[in-house]
C-alpha cells in the first residue's frame, strides 16, 4: 500500500467524513487531527457492529484505510503521532529487549497435564478464534472474525492511513506500553515483522491492551517457540504464575488471535 494512496484516502475522508467519495457507507463520525491540524484519524461517534468492521477489513487494499476498534479514551482530542526519524529494525529491537526480559523456561512448564491443556485452549474459546487452526486465511477475513470478539471493550471504529496495520499504534501515538518507556514505533517495527510473517493485523486498541488477528499462525512447536520468545520480549506482562516459554509456545499453535496487555 503506497504512501500516496493512503494520504489521498485520508484527504478524501477529511473532505467528506461520510466516506461516499471512497465508496464507503460509514456511520456518523468525524476527523481527529494532529496538533498541527493534519487529519490523522477518522473516529465514529457511536459504537459500530461487526458487519461494519467486516466490510472495512475486507476492503483495505482498495480504500487505503486501516480499520481499528477503539474506545474513545485518548482519541477525541488531537492525537500526537510518534513516527521516528528513522525506522527501527525489528530484530535489533527484539535482541535488546530479550536481554532485559527473560521468560521462564522451567517453571510450571507444559508437560501434557490436563490443567495446562485446558488453559492453552482458553484463547481458542472465543467465537471464531480457532478457525485458522487447520488452514491459512486472508488477513482481512481473519481480522473481521477476530475483531468481532472485542467490540465490547473497543466499540468505536477508527480509520487510519499508514503502510502497515502495524503502524496504527505509532500513527495514533498510542501509549499502552507506557510503563516500558520505549518509543511506540519500536513496537510497530516488531508488529510489522509479524504482519509479514504471520499475516498478523492490529485490530483493536483499548486501555493498555492490543489485539492482533493472525491469518497464518505457526503450525509446529519449533515455529511457535521462536515466536513465543519474541512475544515475551515484546510484552513481558504475558508472563505469570502458570506461564513458561514452552507453555506459551503451545498456546500459539493454530491460534488466530493474539492479545497483549501492559500493566
> What pLDDT sits at residue 75?
86
pLDDT value at position 129? 47
Distance CA 160, CA 42 (A): 7
**In Å, what is the CA distance from 213 to each residue of 95, 111, 128, 201?**
24, 28, 11, 5
Q: Kind of pairing, strands 39-44 and 156-160?
A: antiparallel
C-alpha span between 166 and 263 (Å, rounded): 21
User: What is the reported pTM?
Assistant: 0.87
| Reduced 3-state DSSP string for 121-159 | HHHHCCCCCCCCCCCCCCHHHHHHHHHHHHCCCCCEEEE
The per-residue pLDDT for 99 is: 83
Residue-level pLDDT at 7: 62
Structurally, how many domains does the chain consist of?
1
HSE, CB side, 13 Å, CA atoms: give it for residue 93: 22
Residue 240 pLDDT: 59
Q: Domain of residue 39: give its range.
A: 1-263
Residue spans of alpha helices (H) in the chain: 3-15, 50-57, 60-63, 90-100, 114-121, 139-147, 168-171, 184-198, 221-234, 245-252
* Among the listed residues 97, 247, 242, the one whose alpha carbon sits nearest the alpha carbon of residue 177: 97
Provide the CA 45 distance to its chain's centre, in angstroms: 22
| 3-class state of residue 103 by DSSP | coil
pLDDT recorded at residue 45: 95
Pairing mode, strands 200-206 and 66-70: parallel
Mean pLDDT, consecutive 10-residue stretches, the chain (263 aa), reads 65 94 94 94 96 96 96 87 92 91 50 50 46 74 95 97 96 90 92 98 96 95 93 84 75 92 88
Amino acid at each position: 500500500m503506497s504512501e500516496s494512496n493512503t494520504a489521498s484516502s485520508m484527504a478524501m475522508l477529511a473532505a467528506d467524513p461520510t466516506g461516499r467519495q471512497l465508496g464507503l457507507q460509514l456511520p456518523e463520525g468525524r476527523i481527529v487531527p494532529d496538533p498541527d491540524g493534519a487529519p490523522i484519524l477518522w473516529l465514529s461517534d457511536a459504537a459500530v457492529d461487526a458487519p461494519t468492521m467486516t466490510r472495512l477489513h475486507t476492503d483495505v487494499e482498495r480504500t487505503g484505510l486501516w480499520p481499528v476498534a477503539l474506545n474513545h479514551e485518548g482519541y477525541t482530542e488531537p492525537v500526537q503521532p510518534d513516527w521516528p526519524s528513522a525506522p527501527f529494525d525489528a530484530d535489533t529491537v527484539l535482541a535488546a529487549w530479550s536481554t532485559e526480559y527473560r521468560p521462564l523456561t522451567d517453571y510450571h512448564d507444559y508437560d501434557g497435564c490436563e490443567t495446562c491443556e485446558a488453559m492453552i485452549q482458553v484463547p481458542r474459546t472465543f467465537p471464531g478464534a480457532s478457525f485458522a487452526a487447520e488452514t491459512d486465511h486472508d488477513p482481512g477475513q481473519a481480522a473481521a472474525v477476530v475483531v468481532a470478539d472485542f467490540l465490547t471493550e473497543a466499540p468505536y471504529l477508527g480509520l487510519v492511513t499508514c503502510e502497515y496495520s502495524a503502524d496504527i499504534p505509532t500513527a495514533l501515538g498510542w501509549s499502552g506500553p507506557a510503563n516500558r518507556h520505549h518509543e511506540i514505533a519500536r513496537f510497530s517495527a516488531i508488529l510489522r515483522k509479524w504482519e509479514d510473517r504471520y499475516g498478523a493485523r492490529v485490530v483493536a486498541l483499548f486501555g493498555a491492551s492490543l489485539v492482533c488477528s493472525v491469518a497464518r499462525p505457526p503450525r509446529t512447536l519449533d515455529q511457535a517457540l521462536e515466536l513465543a520468545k519474541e512475544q515475551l520480549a515484546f510484552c513481558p506482562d504475558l508472563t505469570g504464575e502458570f506461564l513458561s516459554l514452552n507453555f506459551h509456545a503451545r498456546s500459539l499453535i493454530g491460534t488466530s488471535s493474539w492479545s497483549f496487555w501492559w500493566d
